[in-house]
Amino acid sequence: MNCFSLEGKIALVTGASYGIGFAIASAYAVAGATICFNDINQELVEKGLVAYKEAGIKAYGYVCDVTNEVQVKELITQIEREIGVIDILVNNAGIIKRIPMCDMSAEQFRQVIDIDLNGPFIMSKAVIPSMIKKGHGKIINICSMMSELGRETVSAYAAAKGGLKMLTKNIASEYGEYNIQCNGIGPGYIATPQTAPLRQTQPDGSKHPFDQFIISKTPAARWGTPEDLQGPAIFLASDASNFVNGHILYVDGGILAYIGKQP
């Protein structure tokens, strides 16, 4: 028996039209899972469907706002009716606003908290009842190094991801007896289209200062890739992690273990 197989499982990955969510969903498909994903609008869902098709993956895409409880309930009902009960939920959808705290409005702060923390709460409580009936389930929350550390301009994001770490532990505490495992993945700095400007070579041929900073702080001496998250995501979705619960697995190249080089 392959304890890492996801054969016959149904996985829902939120915000998985591209980036980290797409990489995780693609890995689940290779491991045998049926893939469902959502995004905030039809344009992004169509973009995702094209990307999955190009990768040779049959995926089911839905428009759903993870902060809208009515839409989420309708989404889960539709998936259960058309495909089956969700075995694996990955709460990946999220945003970040890089604004100094004193310049950030309460409305902007609430928006980040709503998507990055309330969204996983709403999604999780929508799938848990059917997981209980089925007798098993895996919930994986995409946390962050900001679940542990602060940094300039990310007060809302750090607050949300710190909260998501504790929501992860609480879901594990509350529903572990039903054979539901809830764990988190905390990515380090990942090379994605969103972070590309921070890695661009400068006009004088030097590296971007932030690029130099991250590499100097990372024992692996490189940025992570979305593919670096695939193995950990499969582990936490598979039977290999059936006695792992309430854990945050940081995939950061060692940043959180490292004090950094002496100047």
- pLDDT, one tens digit per residue, over 137-150 is 999 999 999 999 99
pLDDT tens-digit profile of 12-51? 999 999 999 999 999 999 999 999 999 999 999 999 999 9
CA dist., res. 51 & res. 57, Å (int):
9
194: pLDDT strictly greater than 80: no
pLDDT tens per residue across span 77-133 = 999 999 999 999 999 999 999 999 999 999 999 999 999 999 999 999 999 999 999
Q: What is the mean pLDDT of residues 201-207?
A: 89
Catalytic residue (one of 28, 60, 62, 157)? 157
In this prediction, residue 260 carries a pLDDT of 85
Q: How far is CA 55 from the centre of its chain?
A: 20
Tokens for 184, please give them: 């988190």
pTM of the model: 0.96
Residue 124 burial by Cβ neighbours in a 10 Å radius (0-12, 13-18, 19+): buried
Helix axes 155-175 and 106-113, enclosed angle (nearest 10): 30
Q: Which helix (H) or strand (E) holds 93?
A: none
How far is Cα of residue 122 from the mean position of the Cα atoms in its chain?
A: 15
Say whether pLDDT at 1 is over 70: no
- In whole angstroms, give the CA distance from residue 226 to residue 228: 5
- Stretch 215-234: mean pLDDT, rounded? 97
Strands 180-187 and 137-142: parallel
- Any catalytic annotation for residue 157? yes
Q: What percent of the chain has pLDDT over 90?
A: 92
Give just the sign of the alpha carbon dihedral 8, 169, 100, 104. positive
Contact 10, 4 (CB under 8 A): no
pLDDT band at 197 (very low <50, low <70, confident <90, very high): confident
Average pLDDT for 65-77: 98
Which residues is 66 bridged to in the sheet? none
- DSSP alpha helix (H) spans, the chain: 19-30, 42-54, 69-82, 106-113, 119-134, 155-175, 209-217, 230-237
